[in-house]
Chain A
Amino acid sequence: MLRARAGDREAFAAVYRRHASRVMSLAWHLTFDRALAEDVVQETFARAWHAASRWDARAPLSAWLARIATRVAWNETARAWWRRARPGRAGAEAALSTRAHAGPPPDAFASAGEEAARLRDAVAALPARLRIAFALVRLDGRSYAEAAELLGVPVGTVKSRMAAAEERLRRALGAREGPRSDEEAR
């Protein structure tokens, strides 16, 4: 990365090849949308290249990239989630939002089953601040401290967001599953 910071394009390509997979994993867990995740990866490295002089060589490069990716993903998705939460106010744009965030291509979840798709939809409906925290910790396997670092918030904030996310998700899934359970009981 030191050579990339000096403008060495090939060195930066090597950085990309080494870290892109991990950034893609993070972007995927934050979006569950292949096209959006690819956009996040591309934009993350574009910003890293552009702002390479700001990278502190004493800090892990992976953490720096993850921080950028988290912010990019937040920016990419926050508006749509906000619209989705207020479908009645967004007018015609609501349809676009729903379409854009209907999830990844069907093949990505086809083999994962209905449960994964149901969980994805529930997570997608969370407010952005809760969704991002939940995705970082529960889906991408980050610790509370790592998530706090990526989000630029205290660990306590991550802790409270995780609890709020868990409660909302449990309620959402419980509400959806109620009628089905009744049918099964019959």
Chain B
Amino acid sequence: VTPPRAAGDLPAEDLVARALGALPPAEAAALDARLARDAAARARYAEVEDHLARYDALAAVPRPAAPPAERALAGLDARRAGAPAWAALAAAAVLAAVVLLLPRPSRSPEADPVTVAVEGARLLRDGREVAASDARAGDVVVAPPGVGEAVARIGARTTVALDPGSEVRILSGDESELRAGAARFAVAPDPKAPRVVARADGVRVEVTGTRFALERAGGEVALDVVEGSVLVAGVAVSSGERWTFAGGRARTERPVPRSPRVSLSTASPEGARPVRLRLRVENPTAAELPLPSPDDPRGPYYLEVTDPAGAVVAVRVGSGNLEGDALPSRLRPRGVAEATLRTEATFARPGTYRLRTFFLGRPAGPAAPGGDLEIVLR
């Protein structure tokens, strides 16, 4: 940053620091003495001080409350347990589907009451049954085994039908998580309610209402969309489609209708060094993405996408540290595995594309493959 100059030989950065009370006492005293005898510098300082004072209005805008712990920390266990990266991503993705489908509250989630009604199910808190009228975020709806279908109404728009022995945890008034078994979710459309479900990275998702089913069994999560469409990690899944997530893989029994697209871009300002590249994978429906986490201890990495003929169509490099590394450590409802674009490489040629991840390691050693991605176009 080239510092702007103030009146005379006074650096503007000293004036700004003085106005913010950030100048050390000795320097502040020297500056004050200079201001006392220099009208031009004094006028310039007053201008800076007045300008900075205006931001009191911005700093005073009330901030929203933080998300409740039950929701913010809902996906942590899978990450800490040393599970495969995709397993955590898939779990987060399925949870995201639930989160995505339900409307975001128009006010603080912490202020939202949790309204729950249950039929044929029990509401448990720390293993003890509680009354539905006393429901709180974190409570678990349990359908007793060997009994017929149980029903829970969560919030104003969501109805969940649980198979016997299934459990659904209530994260807030409009978010829930299938913990065990199988459940069918129905979300009623409400044209009067805010329709914004998630907003991130330029992607705005609206949900008007739909029906879908989730099932957990044997380490696998299955998603069936009955009506409308839902988003899983930003990927649209239409009615009639069934997806399963397990063992680091996401599968569908139906052909992928659209070709996944990969965009390559630079994330650095022009002329800046080092140049950062970013890879955007849209519609990774048939993909298993071995994306490294920014916290991955294996160090810098290099991603390379090759087309069926073996030609490199996209690459990405990452520093492996947090700053400047925008690869998401979990899938998010944004429709992409990563974003940014300048130039694009489109998977137009039928065949198998491959994404290779190489971790370069510390200290430098032989490159180790981090995983492959195969995209099969039909």
Contacts and interface: CB of A to CB of B under 8 A. Distances in A.
A20 B104 contact: no
B63 A25 contact: yes
B31 interface: no
Interface stretch (B224-232, B249-257, B325-333): B325-333
Contact of A74 (B104, B201, B295, B323): B323
Contacts of A140: 59
B58 A123 contact: yes
A90 B331 CA distance: 24
Q: SS class of chain B's interface: helix, strand, loop or mixed?
A: loop
Interface string B102-134: 001010000000000000000000000000000
Contacts of B332: 39
Contact of B58 (A72, A89, A120): A120
B267 A79 contact: yes
Given A75-B324, A78-B326, A119-B54, A24 B64 contact: yes
A112 B61 contact: yes
B38 to A, nearest CB: 18
Nearest to A133: B1
B201 A116 contact: no
Given A93-B202, A99-B202, A50 B329 contact: yes
Contacts of B64: 24, 28, 34, 37-38, 104, 108
Contact of A169 (B51, B66, B76, B202): B51
A49 B324 contact: no
A74 B198 CA distance: 20
Contact of B72 (A16, A28, A32, A82): A16
B73 A16 contact: yes
B240 to A, nearest CB: 29
B57 A163 contact: no
B3 A100 contact: no
A20 B17 CA distance: 29
Interface string B296-332: 0000000000000000000000000011111001101
Interface in B273-287: 278
Given A28-B63, A71-B323, A113 B200 contact: no
Contact of A24 (B65, B77, B339): B65
B59 A12 contact: no
Contacts of B294: 47
Given A13-B73, A79-B326, A123-B58, A163 B11 contact: yes
A105 B65 CA distance: 14
Interface of B: 1-4, 11-13, 15-17, 20, 22, 47-48, 51-52, 54-55, 57-67, 69, 72-73, 75-77, 79-80, 104, 106, 198-204, 267, 269, 278, 293-295, 322-326, 329-330, 332, 339-342
Interface of A: 7, 9, 12-13, 16-17, 20-21, 23-25, 28-29, 32-39, 41-43, 45-47, 49-51, 68, 71-72, 74-76, 78-80, 82-83, 89-91, 93, 96-97, 99-100, 104-105, 107-109, 112-113, 115-116, 119-120, 123, 129-130, 137-141, 143-144, 152, 157, 159-164, 166-167, 169-170, 173
19 contacts: A7-B80, A9-B73, A13-B69, A20-B67, A28-B64, A35-B199, A46-B76, A50-B329, A76-B201, A76-B326, A78-B326, A112-B57, A139-B59, A159-B22, A160-B2, A160-B3, A161-B1, A163-B12, A166-B16
Given A24-B63, A50-B293, A96-B202, 18 more contacts: A12-B76, A21-B66, A25-B63, A35-B200, A36-B200, A71-B323, A75-B326, A90-B341, A96-B203, A116-B58, A120-B58, A159-B17, A160-B13, A162-B13, A163-B15, A166-B51, A167-B4, A170-B51
